[in-house]
Amino acid sequence: MILRKKGLAAGLTVLVACACMRPQMPSFAAETDMPKTYAAESAGSGDLSLYDLCRTAERADYPELSDAEFANFRMVTAGTIGEGILYRSSSPIDPSLGRNAYADREAEKAGIRTVLNLAENRAVAESYPGYAETYYSGCDIFFADMTTAYASDSFRFSMTGTLRFLCEHEGPYLIHCMEGKLRTGVTCALLECLMGADLNVVQDDFALTYQNYYHVADGIKQPVPAELEPTVRSLIVDYLSLLFHEAPDAGDDLAGKAEAYIRELGFTDSEIAQIRRNLSGETDAEETEPSASETRTETALSVTTVPETTASETAQTALTNAPPPKTGDRGSTLPVLFAAALLFPSLCLIRGRKKGKP
């Protein structure tokens, strides 16, 4: 009994130690900690922060936004990402933000086939009211249940599964979390970097979410204050630095940094190349079909185009190119023997003519 208690105490000590070692995130990191409506306590102080922004779940509070913008739903085309291949949004199934129905309709319009759900596991997702009736539920879905501790092993595990699912499934793809802001923002930023986007473009896409959500003053959506824009843009740089082990800068080889990170997750060069093909809109069929066609053409030419050679050379070529007999397969040797028997008299006749015999 004493040993059991000691073992339990040791186990708890390890758990506490692991919790204390969890990497610290930059401030205002966890999107689930953002209040649904946040009244600015320091409204008159002049010291604004991201926590001074607020959003609502009411469509009427965003009269200047389209339904897609209200749902934070948009196409991602940074770098060499193809048109109509990659999309991002808030949750199409979580009703807490009041945006799920709008996001689900936009997903259907875009013809989404593969969904990367970074917010929750399957059990939680399927527990939302009306889940089975959504367009979303008929897609191929990966439930990543991703943390916002971007330097943690848990995050790396979820990101590995997410990228592998993307590698093995066809688009159009939809990436979402709850708001489509942080976990979605980091994942999209990684893919944008991989596909050759420069840092300014990555920052523009990340910051657009804040314009779609914040801030609401007197019930009406207002632009994010200009003084907060540098803070928003620097946020994605902080997050990418946790992946790349250094802060990315304008002019850096972001594609190389993203590729190195994905390789650290265990992906091979061919798998990384497949991810790039999927995101660019290329397909294996497009790549292999021309080569197959060329092969068929070459084969046809080799059969139909016969050079002017003697009968002996033709016969020798036929025998040389005949497939070797298979061990234990007697039937495969008969065609070769039969061909040789037919060609032997011709060979003798040709050799005789060369020697001047009638």
pLDDT tens-digit map of 140-176: 999 999 999 999 999 999 999 999 999 999 999 999 9
What distance in Å separates the CA atoms of residue 192 and residue 194, rounded to the nearest whole number? 5
Do the domain assignments include residue 112? Answer: yes
Q: Contacts from 226-235 at CB under 8 Å and sequence distance 24+?
A: 227/48, 228/48, 228/49, 228/50, 228/53, 231/49, 231/50, 232/50, 232/206, 232/207, 233/203, 233/206, 233/207, 235/26, 235/28, 235/206
Which of the residue ranges 124-133, 177-186, 329-338 would you say has the lowest mean pLDDT?
329-338
pLDDT surpasses 50 at 131: yes
Residue 197, class by beta-carbon neighbours within 10 Å (0-12 exposed, 13-18 middle, 19+ buried)? buried
What distance in Å separates the CA atoms of residue 256 and residue 237, rounded to the nearest whole number? 16
- Asked whether residue 279 falls in the same domain as residue 313, the answer is no
pLDDT tens readout for residues 10-64: 443 333 333 333 333 333 333 433 333 323 323 333 466 777 788 899 999 999 8
Q: Is the previous residue joined to 172 through a cis bond, with omega within 30 degrees of 0?
A: yes
- Are residues 157 and 266 in contact, defined by beta-carbon separation less than 8 angstroms? no
Would you state the pLDDT for residue 184? 98
Do the domain assignments include residue 302? Answer: no
Would you state the pLDDT for residue 283? 66
Q: Which contiguous run of DSSP H or E holds residue 217?
A: strand 216-217
Q: 342: Cβ–Cβ under 8 A, 6 or more apart, which residues?
A: none
- Asked whether residue 264 falls in the same domain as residue 334, the answer is no
- Asked whether residue 61 falls in the same domain as residue 125, the answer is yes
- Asked whether residue 151 falls in the same domain as residue 191, the answer is yes
Q: Which residue has the higher pLDDT, 62 or 323?
A: 62
Domain range for 158 is 31-284
Would you state the pLDDT for residue 47? 64
Do the domain assignments include residue 297? Answer: no
**Portion of the chain with pLDDT greater than 90, in percent:** 57
Query: Domain containing 270 — which CATH number?
Result: 3.90.190.10
Would you state the pLDDT for residue 312? 37
Do the domain assignments include residue 15? Answer: no
Do the domain assignments include residue 274? Answer: yes
pLDDT tens readout for residues 90-113: 999 999 999 999 999 999 999 999
What distance in Å separates the CA atoms of residue 42 and residue 221, rounded to the nearest whole number? 19
Split at pLDDT 50, 70, 90, the class of 132 is: very high
- Nearest CA among 267, 268, 282, 206 for reference residue 239: 206
pLDDT surpasses 70 at 265: yes
What distance in Å separates the CA atoms of residue 97 and residue 94, rounded to the nearest whole number? 7
- Asked whether residue 267 falls in the same domain as residue 341, the answer is no
- Asked whether residue 209 falls in the same domain as residue 353, the answer is no
pLDDT surpasses 70 at 227: yes
Would you state the pLDDT for residue 243? 97
Would you state the pLDDT for residue 311? 40
Q: Which contiguous run of DSSP H or E holds residue 199?
A: helix 199-213
With tokens 């061919």, the residue in question is 270
User: What is the torsional sign of CA 78, 80, 82, 88?
Assistant: negative
Mean pLDDT score across all residues of the chain: 76
Do the domain assignments include residue 294? Answer: no
- Asked whether residue 221 falls in the same domain as residue 135, the answer is yes
With tokens 């190195």, the residue in question is 260
- Asked whether residue 58 falls in the same domain as residue 195, the answer is yes
pLDDT tens readout for residues 267-300: 999 999 999 999 999 865 444 444 443 433 333 3
Counting the structural domains of the chain, the total is: 2
- Asked whether residue 162 falls in the same domain as residue 236, the answer is yes
**pTM > 0.85:** no
- Asked whether residue 190 falls in the same domain as residue 320, the answer is no
One-letter amino acid of 206: F
Q: Contacts from 127-133 at CB under 8 Å and sequence distance 24+?
A: 128/93, 128/94, 128/95, 128/100, 129/95, 131/93
pLDDT tens readout for residues 252-264: 999 999 999 999 9
| Segment 307-311 mean pLDDT | 40
